[in-house]
């Protein structure tokens, strides 16, 4: 008996510690949003659940009056949370898939609130009905008829969450987001796997440890998205670009499938200088959303390279596709962006290079080639502009 108690202590303590670490970090560093607040709550609920689980195990078979009262309380909370954690997980997935507050509100009331409330009533009424479990006079915990039902409700939620994210994955065009939904689709396998092992292998506790591991994976993934995103534009940042570019470089050298495009906003400096940083930032954001709309559909990786520079890695089979895109980017007509009351015509310069260019052996050299071609275009744009407007300001350099 004592061996068991200390074993549960060792297992549960570490889970609680891990959840505590995640929770503290989530409070300090996750951006303020609905999905982060759901995640924070989930982590907290799981910790409470593990504490209740542990309390139940420790007091099992203890006939003292206080022990029996405490067992009842801990076990009721435990079963209640088992259902709640599942329901909350579905809400989380739902929120990721459809960012719609009104809809979410309805779902959380009908599909989660109601069943959770019903199961809470059943849990509490177990005290008289012994439906889910009961504690006998000797303090022994005994399973009731509906014992399994609580777990099953939770699993149904997990499977529903899986279905929701699968549907979202099928619809999603953005590669990064698709990966996230793929993870969310597979997530329920982790706790279910844990439950199956715990059920069939005697004396092994895996259900809650596996659930905690699942949360850890999801949490790390959220952090990873934060690390690889550019805060201003929502595109991939330079860090992610370097990684992606290096990963694909070796693949790409063997096939003419990847095309790197470097893009620079013409005379961005003068926009910043003349209209201020706020307008400059706004224009960068608008250009980014144009990129997302225009090139997001194709298999492409779009990143903000630096201040006013962008990089796109395009995966395409035909050369024409790439050249058409380059043409569209380099159009001397440019596009008109409205910021405040002003409308500005902004042109871009873009230069591209195939991954299998024979002379460029390293990623750096390939980047420099695309860069050099981009500057050729930029000079051409400048000459054309100078012909039209001889009095161009010298800030434009």
Partner 1 sequence: MENFTHVSIDFFPFMVMVVLFFNCKKTITGPLMKDPFGVLAMLTLFGLVVDDIAWCLSGEEGTAAYAFGIFFNMLYFLIDVMLAFYWIRYIWFELHGTDIVRSRKVMIPVGCIASAYLVVLLSSPFTGAIFYLDENNVYIRGHYFIFSFIIIFASMIISMLIPAVHYLSEPSRATKRTCIYLILFNLPFFAGAVVQAIWSIWLLWPGASMSILIAFINIRNRQITSDPLTGLNNRNALSRFLKDRADHYDKQPMVVIMMDIDNFKRINDRYGHTAGDEALWNMADVMRETFGHRPVFLSRYGGDEFVMIKDYSGEADAKETVRQLRDALDKCNKSGRNAIQFGISAGYGVLDGVRNIEFADAVRDADDMMYDDKAQRREEAMPCL
Q: Tell me how far apart the alpha carbons of residues 128 and 112 are, in angstroms, rounded to a whole number.
A: 25
Tokens of 3: 């061996």
Q: Tell me how far apart the alpha carbons of residues 2 and 5 are, in angstroms, rounded to a whole number.
A: 5
365 contributes a contact to partner 1 by CB under 8 A: no
**Euclidean distance between the first and the last CA atom of the chain, given in angstroms as a whole number:** 80
| Bridge-based pairing state of the strands 335-339 and 342-346 | antiparallel
Handedness of CA 102, 172, 322, 306 (dihedral sign): positive
Kindly write out the interface string for residues 173-212 of this chain, putting x where it contacts partner 1 by CB under 8 A and - elsewhere. Answer: ------------------------------xxxx--xx-x
- Which one-letter DSSP state was computed for residue 306? E
308 contributes a contact to partner 1 by CB under 8 A: yes
Q: Do residues 71 and 59 make contact, with C-beta atoms less than 8 angstroms apart?
A: yes
Of 2-31, binders to partner 1 (CB under 8 A) are: 3, 6-7, 9-11, 13-15, 17-18, 21-22, 25, 28-29
**Which range, of 105-113, 214-222, 294-302, 315-323, touches partner 1 by CB under 8 A?**
214-222
217 contributes a contact to partner 1 by CB under 8 A: yes
Of 135-164, binders to partner 1 (CB under 8 A) are: none
Q: Do residues 158 and 114 make contact, with C-beta atoms less than 8 angstroms apart?
A: no
Handedness of CA 91, 97, 98, 101 (dihedral sign): positive
Kindly write out the interface string for residues 250-279 of this chain, putting x where it contacts partner 1 by CB under 8 A and - elsewhere. Answer: -------------------x---x--xxx-
**Which range, of 80-88, 90-98, 225-233, 352-360, touches partner 1 by CB under 8 A?**
225-233
383 contributes a contact to partner 1 by CB under 8 A: no
| Bridge-based pairing state of the strands 258-265 and 348-354 | antiparallel
Binding interface with partner 1 (CB under 8 A) = 3, 6-7, 9-11, 13-15, 17-18, 21-22, 25, 28-29, 203-206, 209-210, 212-213, 216-217, 220, 223-224, 226-227, 231-232, 237-239, 242-243, 269, 273, 276-278, 306-308, 364, 367-368, 371-372, 375, 378, 397
């Amino acid at each position: 008996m004592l061996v068991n108690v200390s074993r549960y202590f060792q297992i549960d303590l570490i889970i609680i510690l891990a959840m505590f670490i995640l929770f503290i970090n989530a409070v300090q560093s996750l951006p303020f949003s609905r999905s982060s607040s759901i995640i924070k709550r989930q982590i907290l609920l799981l910790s409470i659940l593990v504490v209740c689980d542990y309390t139940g195990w420790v007091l099992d078979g203890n006939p003292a009056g206080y022990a029996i009262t405490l067992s009842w309380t801990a076990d009721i909370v435990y079963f209640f949370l088992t259902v709640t954690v599942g329901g909350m997980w579905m809400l989380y997935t739902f929120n990721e898939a459809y960012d719609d507050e009104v809809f979410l509100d309805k779902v959380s009331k009908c599909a989660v609130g109601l069943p959770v409330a019903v199961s809470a009533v059943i849990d509490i009424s177990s005290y008289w009905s012994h439906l889910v479990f009961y504690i006998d006079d000797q303090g022994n915990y005994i399973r009731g008829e509906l014992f399994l039902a609580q777990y099953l409700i939770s699993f149904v939620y997990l499977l529903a969450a899986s279905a929701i994210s699968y549907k979202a994955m099928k619809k999603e065009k953005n590669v990064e987001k698709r990966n996230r939904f793929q993870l969310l689709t597979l997530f329920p396998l982790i706790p279910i796997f844990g439950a199956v092992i715990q059920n069939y292998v005697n004396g092994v506790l895996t259900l809650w440890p596996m659930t905690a591991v699942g949360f850890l994976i999801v949490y790390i993934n959220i952090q990873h998205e934060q690390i690889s995103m550019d805060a201003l534009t929502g595109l991939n940042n330079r860090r992610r670009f370097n990684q992606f570019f290096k990963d694909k470089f070796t693949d790409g050298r063997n096939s003419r499938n990847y095309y790197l495009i470097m893009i620079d906003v013409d005379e961005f400096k003068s926009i910043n200088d003349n209209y201020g940083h706020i307008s400059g930032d706004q224009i960068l954001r608008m250009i980014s959303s144009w990129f997302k709309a225009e090139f997001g559909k194709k298999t492409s990786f779009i990143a903000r390279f630096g201040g006013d520079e962008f990089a796109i890695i395009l995966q395409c089979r035909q050369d024409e596709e790439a050249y058409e895109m380059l043409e569209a980017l380099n159009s001397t007509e440019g596009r008109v962006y409205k910021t405040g009351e002003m409308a500005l015509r902004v042109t871009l310069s873009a230069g591209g290079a195939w991954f299998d260019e024979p002379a460029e052996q390293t990623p750096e050299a390939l980047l420099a080639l695309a860069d050099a071609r981009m500057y050729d275009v930029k000079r051409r744009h400048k000459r054309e502009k100078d012909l039209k407007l001889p009095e161009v300001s010298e800030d434009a350099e």
